[in-house]
């Protein structure tokens, strides 16, 4: 039987997901496992192997050609080694490619999760048909990826495209990377929830108090997005600030790179114009007019599947 299937894997902050990715980005044989509470690299790797195992049990292991994995962190492309991943415990100088190949007995390709999402969106999503694009994903962190002339731009040693670690506020909140004022500290899902919790320390009325059952520690970015769409003042202020600071970063990248399109994904974009309007306002205010005149800013089209689709595509391209 021909080995004609490629599995894509997306490792997030709370779950690992896998699926077979076919022609045109069509996915099937999904599997999903929680990685919440994992305290070591070995535990996370066990979850990845188990998740891929479920997909292979469904599609037939004998048909699987290889596996592409999208993971957080700085990656040495040639070896598939994770140099550093700020939001994953124990992922420092981790030879993930070789470890997974030993466990799965299959060829494995490792790609940064933001790059994988961008490759997916560029192939069959919101960035399809464009040569120069920036993809930003608002999730556990703020992932960024740059594609120039249809190729991922990685920089001199693989650290290019870290949009989430663009400074947007001097001496601002400390980011997980150790630097102050990063975009990720204000526009990621946990950061949005944090800012809403901080706002509830005042006496201002907010539907968020009801949504969280009176426990601000239970607030999520999804709650903030929903409350903002319902017109809640606290939630609107938090979302507007996140969109504004995201717009500051987007305007700077527009001036630097002159891309055709920004594709922005993650659950936060469910707020629609509440997040996109301040982004566009900052572009109009700050970006070089000639660059801004051709620029599009659009929501990602592939949703949670972008990383899976892009990771599988990375394997096909590299094979």
Residue 89 pLDDT > 80: no
> Which pLDDT score, from 0 to 100, does residue 114 have?
93
Q: Among 83-92, 112-121, 165-174, which is the least confidently predicted range?
A: 83-92
* Average pLDDT, integer, range 220-249: 97
Mean pLDDT over 304-314 rounds to 96
- Cross-strand partners of 84: 74, 92
Question: For 168-206, how does the pLDDT look when each residue is reduced to its tens digit (9 = 90+)?
Answer: 999 999 998 899 999 999 999 999 999 999 999 887 899
In whole angstroms, what is the distance from residue 179 CA to residue 174 CA? 6
What's the average model confidence in pLDDT over 18-35?
Answer: 95
Inter-helix orientation angle 221-229/233-257, to 10°: 100
- Decide if 117 contacts 143 (C-beta within 8 A): yes
Q: What angle do CA 313, 68, 31 make, to 5 degrees?
A: 105
Q: Considering only 1-5, 28-32, 263-267, which range has the smallest mean pLDDT?
A: 1-5
CATH topology for 5-118+305-318 is Nucleotidyltransferase; domain 5 (3.30.420)
Q: Are 301 and 126 in contact (CB under 8 A)?
A: yes
Asked whether this chain's domains 5-118+305-318 and 130-300 adopt the same fold, the reply is yes
What radius of gyration do the chain's Cα atoms show?
20
Cβ atoms < 10 Å from Cβ of 22? 15
Residue 1 pLDDT greater than 80, yes or no = no
- Of 80-89, 123-132, 155-164, 298-307, the one with minimum mean pLDDT is 80-89
pLDDT band at 40 (very low <50, low <70, confident <90, very high): confident
In the structure, what pLDDT confidence band is assigned to residue 218 with cuts at 50, 70 and 90?
very high
The torsion defined by the Cα of 52, 58, 64 and 69, in degrees rounded to 10, comes to -30
Alpha-carbon span 202 to 235, nearest angstrom: 13
Residue 202 pLDDT: 81
Q: Residue ranges per domain, the chain?
A: 5-118+305-318, 130-300
Q: Is the pLDDT of residue 95 over 70?
A: yes
Contact between 34 and 20 under an 8 Å Cβ cutoff? The reply is no
Confidence band, pLDDT 50/70/90 cuts, at residue 87: low
The architecture that CATH gives domain 130-300 is: 2-Layer Sandwich (3.30)
- The confidence score (pLDDT) of residue 317 equals 83
> How many C-beta atoms lie closer than 10 Å to residue 152's C-beta?
23
CB-based contact 123:308 (threshold 8 Å) = no
Name, in order, each residue with C-beta under 8 angstroms of 156's C-beta and a sequence gap of 6 or more.
none
Residue-level pLDDT at 30: 96
- pLDDT tens for 239-297 read 999 999 999 999 999 999 999 999 999 989 999 999 999 999 999 999 999 999 999 99
Asked if residues 52 and 26 have their Cβ atoms less than 8 Å apart, the reply is no
pLDDT band at 319, cuts 50/70/90? Answer: low
- For residue 180, the 8-state DSSP code is B
Global pTM reads 0.92
Work out the average pLDDT over 117-141.
Answer: 96
Q: How far apart are CA 162 and CA 143, in angstroms?
A: 7
Q: What is the pLDDT of residue 152?
A: 96
């Amino acid at each position: 039987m021909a080995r004609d299937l490629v599995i894509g894997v997306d490792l997030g902050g709370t779950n690992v997901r896998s699926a077979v990715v076919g022609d045109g980005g069509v996915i099937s044989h999904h599997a999903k496992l929680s990685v919440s509470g994992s305290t070591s690299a070995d535990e996370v790797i066990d979850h990845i192997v188990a998740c891929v195992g479920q997909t292979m049990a469904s599609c037939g292991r004998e048909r699987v050609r290889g596996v592409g994995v999208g993971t957080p962190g700085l990656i040495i492309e040639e070896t598939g080694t994770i140099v550093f991943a700020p939001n994953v415990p124990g992922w420092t100088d981790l030879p993930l490619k070789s470890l997974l190949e030993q466990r799965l007995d299959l060829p494995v390709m490792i790609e940064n999760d933001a790059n994988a999402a961008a490759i997916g969106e560029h192939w069959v999503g919101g960035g399809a048909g464009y040569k120069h694009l920036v993809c930003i994903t608002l999730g556990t962190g703020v992932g960024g990826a740059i594609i120039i002339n249809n190729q991922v731009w990685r920089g001199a040693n693989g650290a290019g495209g870290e949009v989430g670690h663009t400074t947007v506020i001097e001496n601002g909140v400390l980011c997980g990377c150790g630097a102050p004022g990063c975009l990720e500290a204000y526009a990621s899902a946990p950061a949005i929830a944090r800012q809403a919790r901080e706002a509830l320390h005042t006496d201002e009325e907010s539907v968020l108090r009801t949504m969280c059952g009176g426990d601000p520690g239970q607030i999520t970015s999804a709650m903030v997005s929903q409350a903002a769409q319902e017109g809640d003042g606290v939630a609107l202020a938090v979302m507007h600030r996140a969109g504004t600071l995201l717009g500051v970063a987007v305007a700077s990248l527009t001036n630097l790179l002159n891309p055709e399109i920004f594709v922005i994904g993650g659950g936060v974009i469910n707020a629609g114009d509440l997040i996109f309007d301040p982004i566009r306002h900052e572009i109009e205010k700050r970006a070089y007019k000639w660059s801004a005149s051709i620029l599009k800013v659009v929501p990602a089209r592939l949703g949670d599947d972008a990383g899976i689709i892009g990771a599988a595509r990375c394997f096909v391209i590299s094979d």
